[in-house]
Chain A
Amino acid sequence: MSSQAADGRVERHKLVDRIYHWVMAISILTLMATAFLPILGWKFEWLEIHWITGLVLTLAVLFHIIRSLFFQKIMNMVPDGKDISAPLARPGKYSMAQKLYHAAVAVLILCGIGSGLLMLRHIDTPFWKRDPYWFTDHGWGVVYSLHDFAAMALITMVMIHVYFALRPDEWHLTRSMLRGWMTRKEYGDHYDPSRWKPSQD
């Protein structure tokens, strides 16, 4: 479907990007459930599901980084002068709030992934036997603390994200992450055409 379809729709997210988003979302929710439900009292064998899902998330994020850097316009997600001088004006593809949110979540997820990959060395996997001496006790404490705080902060971020996704005034965005498009009217109402031209994404 072209970005300027005659049926009054504007393409916002290609299929591959929507698939990435939902793989990431399901991975994050699975990781959070396997992390926190046992802490809250629901005991089950969580560790294997957790680290395997962590590897799925790692691969998905790696895909996203490569795609966004080399196949998309990375500057769409970077605050520009107009975002700073007029943060509430009609934005480009992403608003200032969305850009800041993305930056915060990216830092937290990368922190969780980085520390999580190091923590793989602390458990038995099909690839290796655990090595508890890879770090000192203090070193493991730092790694686990980074992982724990990133995970808890992601609770806050996921709550905020789901709230915005469910707001009726944001349904055009939620639909665009499911179907890939928004109406031309929604595009005209919410975005500055000089800052985001879908045909040039």
Chain B
Amino acid sequence: MELFRYATSVYGDREIIGGSFDLIQYFVALGVAVILVHAIFKWVLPSNNNSAH
């Protein structure tokens, strides 16, 4: 898994040209994970109106 995208410059150097878009799936997965953990947490624990959220 690469973190960055690379290209070869006119001078023959390997240069970073940006972040790797292969990582998009991991950011989506992180979002899904946070949502699932929160949803399960709220479902399992009793609701408490006298608290934030």
Contacts and interface: CB of A to CB of B under 8 A. Distances in A.
Contacts of B38: 163
Contact of B53 (A95, A145, A160, A163): A95
B16 A190 contact: no
Interface in B23-42: 23-24, 27-28, 30-32, 34-35, 38-39, 42
Q: Is the interface of A mostly helix, strand, loop or mixed?
A: helix
Contacts, number: 80
Contact of A156 (B17, B28, B52): B28
B34 A141 contact: no
A10 to B, nearest CB: 17
Interface residues on B, range: 20 to 34
A136 to B, nearest CB: 9
B27 A155 contact: yes
Interface stretch (A48-56, A70-78, A83-91, A176-184): A83-91
Contact of A155 (B15, B19, B31): B31
A163 B15 contact: no
Contact of A145 (B18, B30, B51, B52): B18
Interface of B: 4, 9, 13, 15-19, 21, 23-24, 27-28, 30-32, 34-35, 38-39, 42, 47, 49-53
Top 6 A-B pairs, shortest CB-CB distance: A148-B19, A159-B31, A141-B16, A95-B52, A144-B18, A156-B31
